[in-house]
Structure 1
Amino acid sequence: MASTNSNSGFYYHKTMIDQAPLAMAMLDKSLCYLAVSKKWINDYNLHGQDLIGRSHYAIFPEIPNEWKKKHQDCLKGNIDICNEWPFNRLDGSVQWILWDVRPWYEASGAIGGLIMYTDDITDKKNNELAKLRTENILEKASDMARMGTWELNIKNDSYILSDMAREIFELCSADKINYERFNSFYEEGANRNLKIEVIKDCLEKGISFDLEFQIKTNKGNTRWIREIAYSKFEEGNCSGAFGIVQDITDRKNNEQNISKINQQLLVVNKELKSLLNAGPVIVSTDKKGYIKHFNKGAERLLGYSKEEMIGIETHNIYTLKEERDAFQDDLIQKFNLDADAIDVESLLAEKNYTDSRIWSYVKKDGSTVPVYVTLEAIRDDQNQSIGLVAVAIDISERIEIENELLRKNNLLLRAEEINKMGHWHWDPKTDSGQWSKTMYALFEMDDASLKISKEVYFHMVHPDDRERAVESLSKALKQKRFYSDYYRILTGSEKVKFICVLGDIILDSEGEIDYLMGTCQDVTEQKLLENKFRGLLESAPDAMVIIDNDKNIQLINTEAKKLFGYTSNELVNSSINKLIPHQWNANYQPYLSHEELNKKDHSNSKKVFEIYGRHKDEQKIPIQLSLSPLITQEEYLISLAMRDITKQNEARNKIIEANTNLEVLTQKLTSQNIQLADFAQITSHNLRSPICNLNSLLEIYKQADNDEDKTMLFEKFEQVIGHLNSNLDILVDALKIKRAAKLITKNIRFEDVLSKTNVLLAGKILESKAQIKADFSEVQSIDYNLQYLESIFLNLIDNSITYRSPKRSPQIYIKSIITTDNTIKLTFTDNGLGINMDRHSSKLFGFGKTFHRNPNAKGIGLFMTKTQIESMGGSITATSIVDEGTTLSINF
């Protein structure tokens, strides 16, 4: 139970309530009863119940949350007065009450709990309601709570509806209603089927009905109606029916709402029971110390069942003797008693004293658990002690948290000492601050003699940095955002230190500044090292940029400013992509992290790349970049050394260009030498035989004796010379093809070339009955030399006809193709004699090479075709099977 410290105010209130003729109750801050009047017991039928010490909400579990919130407001000083309110009781009854709830105060001025005054006005309210109902019935008898009449005439199949009935069904006065249409207003399904059945019984059997239906009005709105119907007879025969219809939609909705509320109340009731069962440990004893009450919380905590504990003396069960002795010693000292032993129950009742302290409860398994116990005497109506009640809460988790917080606080203090860091707190409204011990040590000040204020703090800032520090604080207060800063201070011994100040601004619920808090760290050594590092950075001959692991620029030197055209302020804290755009330099990006730079599989941690940088004026700069890791005490950094290699690239490009030109020239010379060697070989091979033949004929001619032999020899001379002249012409043409520097090309349709070839070879095609088919759908034309392409088609088609098989008519198929590497390919396939590729593949396209005994074969066509194709940068290959055919493939 909550503490009710002894004071005259409490006794005064209690005495007044005990003797009050009104329904009054006095509760402590936990809303447990301290006193109640007899009328309170009578009004709420609480006879025979022991209320003192019990929770108000346990007695009245049906109290709604709205009232509970008002009770909490009263505990804060509010007064709640209500002239009438229906109190829905658990038994389903409604009790109308009025109330006045206000706080009562202890002698110290603190709120001790609540005083409640109520009055049962149920009879008065019921009389008022009954009177009001009677008046309403009299006033609205004509409408009868939205009630109308109807009449059905069977003879003319028509309904007569009153105005209210038409309003219920949302019909205008002009609407004419018959039997079928009236039934259509009833919801389809069970509603309509029931209506049709009962009206039929009413008309045929004279059975009246009083039922509720759901309808869909003429305007499509859903409503509930109550309908009463009677039969109407004339001369013994049923002539129709009449009845009453009432709109009960609101009542039906209320019934549904009440059903929902009841469900919610059931849920709340279950939750309240769960909360009570899950509550703290509550144990009460009688005057002799024997346990009278042992709740579920006690069962769960201590491991005993209620049956095991009721009637047992608590002192010997779950409390420790040394703690009981210490408790008695404390009471003796508090109340200046002389006795060595006291009656605790009587003393607590007499002094109206509630004791709260930490105890150790012994569980059934022998282990102990720390609990926070509130111990108070239970008194009878004569204020005599009749026992004790103890409310205990398991605080083992809290103690663990406190110990953990203490341990962490010690670790934090130790960490602050190690890192030369202190923490601070400042309230700008009162200009008062608090420092940690390490903060005083950092400033070398005596924490006992120094009262922290804004003036005191800024007095210790170095004069050269003071103005900047003051401006930084003013900016933070104005923008409600703290900015970290570095500046110098003068310690108590006049020593100069560099400090790093970090902080945060805490706002109140209205968004105004409540206080500032943060840390100060001595970074003097780091600043000295940084200054040395900056000196080394400035002395570097290359542009140096230092970035953090987030790829943001932290430092640059003068050479970097010159190289990129930026100032330090424009670059610091900007992304490195501002100088080295990632879209230009994807290859080096993965190395902008310590993880990648420090991989073991790399030969060393320094990486060199050639990249492009971006000048402030957007100009590209070719750069040689060196990456290396840089580890400091605070963080991992990466050093980028950059050198402009524009001139080196220009010189290198000139060398590469010269080498390229030399390689091209070498290739040309090599090609020409090969061509000359081939020509020399062909010439020597193809001219040697005719020349030898001429020499032989000349020797014979010298030895001839008559003119007839000489004339015959002259004819031989003419034949040999003609053959020799023909070979020379062919070789000269081939040489011209190989040496041609540039041939005129244009776009040529394959179909056009094939048409011309068919005309030139018309005689051969007719004679041989050759069939020539072509598919140029994939590629229809090509940029090529016209004479060469016509020669290629003529030679290859002529060859296919010339070397046809005697077994079948020649069939030639030509197809254009786009290859996977996007080049044009042309294939010529025939069904001729074929060639033995194992024997003749190496000399297939040689000069004067023939592979069949054809008297017209000269071995010139394929040689010229290959020469023409290669002069245009292409190639020709062949595949063939003897007596099946040959395919020649031209890759342009």
Structure 2
Amino acid sequence: MITIGVLIVSGVLVVSHIISLLDAETENIDLVGKQHMMSKSIVNDALHIGNAPNSMSTKDISRLKNLTNELKNSQVNLLEHYSENNKTIDSLLKKNESSYNQMLSSSSAITIDLDPNRLKNQLEKIYEAQSSYSVNLDLIRDTFQEEVHSKLQLLMNILWIFASCILLIIVGESAFIMRPIFKQLLYKNKELQAINEELELSKVVISKNMLALTKLKIDLETKEAYNRIFIEQAPMAIAMVDNDMCYLAVSKRWITDYKMEGKEFIGRSHYDLFPEISEDWKKMHQRCLGGAIDINNEEPFIRADGSLQWLYWDVRPWYDLDGKIGGILMQTGDITAVKENELESKRTDEIIEKTNEISRIGTWELDLLKNEVYWSTIVCEIHEVPHDFEPQLTSSIHFYKEGKSRNLVVKSVKEAISDGKSFDIEVELVTQNNANIWVRAIGQTELVEGKCTRLFGIFQDISVIKKSEGELLRKNKLLNFAEEITLMGNWQWDTVADVVLWSNNLYNIFKLDKNIEIIKFDTYFSFVHPDDREIVTEYFKKSVNKKSLVKFTHRIIAGDGKVKTIQLLGEVIRDNLGNIIEMIGTCQDITEQKKSEVALIRKNQLLTLGEEIAQMGHWQWDTVVDKVIWSNNLYRIFELDNSKIDLKFETYLSFVHPEDSLNVIEYFEKAAKEKIFDSFSHRIITVTGIIKTVQLMGEVFTNEKGEIIEMIGTGQDVTEQKMVEQKIVAAKENLEAFSKKLIAQNTQLADFTHITSHNLRAPVSNLNTLLDFYKESESESEKLDLFKKIETVIYHLTSTLNTLIEALQTKNDTTKELEKVSFNEILNKTKEILTAEILKSEITIQVDFSEIENINYNKIYLESIFLNLVSNAMKYKAEDRTPKLTIISVITNGKIELKFQDNGLGIDLKKHGHKLFGLNKVFHRHPDARGVGLFMTKTQVEAMGGTIWAESTVNEGTTFIINFNLNE
């Protein structure tokens, strides 16, 4: 047991020694990382100073000095702490000395001398030295990490050796102690050997199992001791997990890096503690559990709370005594601060570059010793020249607009060269593409022994700014003009210093001399009308207490003695403590407006009176929110209590007469669609049940999108006017009907007179002549022949008189019997009467009475009309084609019409149209043509109040159209 104790103490000493070595190596790695970070910070600060040396503060220089001193101290610590003999590290440290010294030298030089030329040189040196320095530091860090890994392997081997030795000693001592006991028992208990043989064998097995358990326990305790000692005390973030990714051990640094203080790790799943781990990382863990090693120098890790953490890691498997993978070891480092600094520096550089690009700011330089001019990319873009353009001093000046701008540039450059005077000028420039722009040129001089050797500065395109300035001036002029037109001015009152600023037009309103620049509150108060001073004082007291300005009106007595009414409107400005420090606002002369308001009130009173007299009211309808406003007299017309103010369009519709509701809705829909409100009348039923007629007139208002937002108009009670109007209209219609009847009778009388004189004159004259011949004739045969001719003339005369009599009877028949007659029935009867002619002519008759089949008419007249028009279609058929007649009934404008369309000879209406329906008028040679049918048809149609006309084309056919002037 003493031997085991000695071995354990020795093992602990050896393990402690190796752990101390690991601690030293880890500290070396941290020191190398710190060196790496500080070297980058020195370069970033140096570049920051180099980009704007003239705007650097003492704080910026002091920070660079502190970083340089920290780098020195860290380097000393690294060299002092490093005590091993490693040729690779020794070589790298020695190799890094030159870069390290160059960085210190350049950094110190920058803090002392901010000369731009030398500053640029030092920046190049420090940037080059830091790049080499960083590369060597990375190699040193990798070497240190390899040393750590080798020492870890050594520690593991030593622990295995100690565990094996302890196991062997335990087994040996156990065998040494048990041997004499077994021998004594063998001698003393020979008689029991047979009986207890099996028992002894069991004991041997148990002893062996106990040895195995003891060995297993020692192995587990050894592993546990190793894990606990190494991982828990490790200064870096290390975790050990099994094949199920459950924690076996974790370092304190791991817990603090991941902000998991107070949480239990051992035995818990890595994925339960870090649920935010992605599937890619889980796959990587599985690869490592399969034997892979994964090393990553930087990677973002989004935590469950949404925060971003930058990490580097080394994940590799660990092996058990059997050489099998027992899980993985994870070593990580939190480099969030370093990465954020890098990203911030990069972001700052990008912002500066983008700002310059957006602001159109570039740099320029004139080397007077070499006579060389340098333009940055932005400057070339401003001049609209290629990026590789090589400017010269003379050619550069010629870009400036000839005259004032070019002269100012020449003067500024000369003064800078001769007197070392810097300049900041704004001039016009003509680009290579002949575009006129405004630029701002700032120049600084570099003097060597009192002589200017270099000019440098910045160059900015300020065309947009100049345009904005011009626009601002123009708007200010417009504002002043607007203030003059609206009789308005603006003011500012510094309530702390009691200083008041007035716009020009406010001086005009108050008639105050504009040369008086110092204005206080009392200046304004001196103009206030004596009768209004108390309310003005109270107004400003309330404004101070409530910390707000509301619209306020009062009177003043202007400088010319005139009394004016002004209106104040403004707001207060407060400091961080809420105290009023300023009031700003407008002041408008509303004297004329007040007068107009008084006049408007009077006019409204007169309007109300006029509305009462004219039985009229006005209304407004906000179509967006459906709100209606009525005047008092409109309430009277509708007999509605004027206390009901919640009016809508539906309120109005509820008064509309049921028979007019649809028309009213359609009218308003049409007005909304066409955005025109025409005059419209309809009936309403008032609250008390009285039916009235109202006439609406209005106007539609739309917004800038063309959408209706309001309708306004008037409503007048025109009930009495409508009644009078209806009587007048009825009387007018009666007179018009009577007039039409007289005109028709006169026309018919004239036609009859014409027909009578025309158709009777010839046969009567012919008869007189034949009688004279008859008297003079001596021959009986001649007299007989003349007598036959006289009979023929008498026959035709009788026929004509009978036709005229029938026509007169038709026109004068006021007792026409009307009955419901079928068009099909009349046609069938006509076909029966004309059966022989229809068969002979082979005419085809087609009918379509589907639209209207019956009519209330005089049946005898309708039979006569059908008979005459069907007969005509057969009489005047064309010889070269089969006759065809189509009869159609239609409704036109609500009136019944009948059409007879044939394909016969047709009529030349231009030649014969005026006498188409005349008595005895024929237009084709036909033995049966007498010119009576159409005459009688027209007479019968007109006698029933209808009209008839024809449409015809020669050799194509004729269509007779009858409008019965009857509703369907």
**So what's the TM-score if we normalise by structure 1?**
0.46
* Bigger radius of gyration among the two: 2
Q: Which has the higher strand share?
A: 1
Larger helix percent: 2
